Structure 1
């Protein structure tokens, strides 16, 4: 059986570099990192590559946009070591992460939409408890909501609002005369947003960055552009995962 002349054609590092828009040093680094198969050497010690190396480089560069450099490199190393199942597991993890990010975006969008509707009453009255410093009802001449009524409207306990406050998610001000917590419009908005996301199962540490975005934007409305950008980036990542998968499949077939 005659050998395929394409499979034995020798390529220099500069040939791979120019064809793929990277530096020759990057090509050497990728080989040393196990991203590319080991190169043959001439009698003078110069590296020589083949079209299979070119395919490997093209595959790696196609994987990076969807998976990131670290995971793409790990996939290529696994393939190079013959651990194809490990490579596929890493691919699956990236797809699972994309799905989780999509679900998070949906939850955020639903939570923000929920801010534009009146707060639904809780499932029942919040049990009365002895007044705590800073938690009692309003005095004459003060404005803003207080912890008990707000907790009742959200259907949660006042202790939950205090927990969110300690986590920095809700920032009521203190009445200078009484020391009571006063929830102004922004604090009520934050509490409702946290409540929506918590009902969706999101932990507090995931909610904190969103709350900061809402505060920096001055409310949920200016975040529409951010959400559009988020959606676009998820779509781009999904398409990049597909493109990378196609290149990886071709590379695996060529390797045999």
Structure 2
């Protein structure tokens, strides 16, 4: 089969499909979606493919892990329509997104390193005890003062899901326990780094689910691994795309 794909002979849909463990319907779908160039037809109307189509299929399958199915499809469509510049722009966007994700990860790691245990509230400085749970907590004013922000900012973070203080059953005031203060401090660090509320909310959710900052070490290691895997996938996709472009240019 490998010799068939490298030779100049005509290939059937099943030949392409078997080489990659796909169905013949998948090959037809890829052609219909513009991922593969249009196939030639026999006098009886059967599709026939060439090593150029095999190269397009290899390029597409190599692009998917790094770019995702949608972007990989757009890249191949652009190449097959003769707009290589657009294809390269899409490739650049994926690399730029990976770089932005790396910057975000570094900012998160810096923010976590900067988070030291919050000092306990001083007597008379807003500390309270709820009648329902008996758990100590701090009112919104002292928390805002400790962070150097306005209470209105904390209320905005609450609406965005970054903090979730409980309410004192007697007064209705917001009460921030130790975990709430931790979330507020983490949000404050990330906001100072220029991150948007919608970017911060998923991380805060992970901190809550982990029960604290220390278990996030595994999350951060996994994050590093995913970024490295994506980076390697982008390199592999770029190599196969370049090989396909060379085939189209007649230099393969």
Query: TM (normalized to structure 1)?
Result: 0.86
- Partner Cα separation in structure 2 for residue 242 and residue 168 of structure 1: 37
1:6 positional shift: 5.6
> For 1:217, which of 206, 210, 213 is the aligned residue?
210
Query: TM (normalized to structure 2)?
Result: 0.88
Match of 1:150 in 2: 143
- Partner Cα separation in structure 1 for residue 39 and residue 128 of structure 2: 80
SS at match of 1:252: helix
Aligned pair in 2 of structure 1 residues 241, 137: CA closer, same or farther (>3 Å)? same
Structure 1 gaps of 5+ residues are 120-135
Residues 1:12 and 2:1 aligned together: no
Match of 2:246 in 1: 253
Q: Deviations over 1:95-123 (max 9, x none)?
A: 1111111111112222222223558xxxx
Once the two structures are superposed, the pairs formed by residues 116-127 of structure 1 within 5 Å of their partners are 116=116
Match of 1:176 in 2: 169
Aligned residues: 236
Structural RMSD (CA): 2.0
1:7 positional shift: 6.0
Once the two structures are superposed, the pairs formed by residues 156-195 of structure 1 within 5 Å of their partners are 156-195=149-188
Aligned pair in 2 of structure 1 residues 104, 40: CA closer, same or farther (>3 Å)? same
Residues 1:45 and 2:45 aligned together: yes
- Partner Cα separation in structure 1 for residue 243 and residue 128 of structure 2: 73
Pick which of 110-119 and 182-191 moved more.
Answer: 110-119
Pick which of 175-184 and 11-20 moved more.
Answer: 175-184
1:183 positional shift: 1.1
- Partner Cα separation in structure 1 for residue 66 and residue 176 of structure 2: 42
Contact conserved, 2:118 with 2:182, CA < 8 A, in 1?
A: no
Once the two structures are superposed, the pairs formed by residues 11-30 of structure 1 within 5 Å of their partners are 11-30=11-30
Pick which of 230-239 and 169-178 moved more.
Answer: 169-178
Match of 2:126 in 1: 137
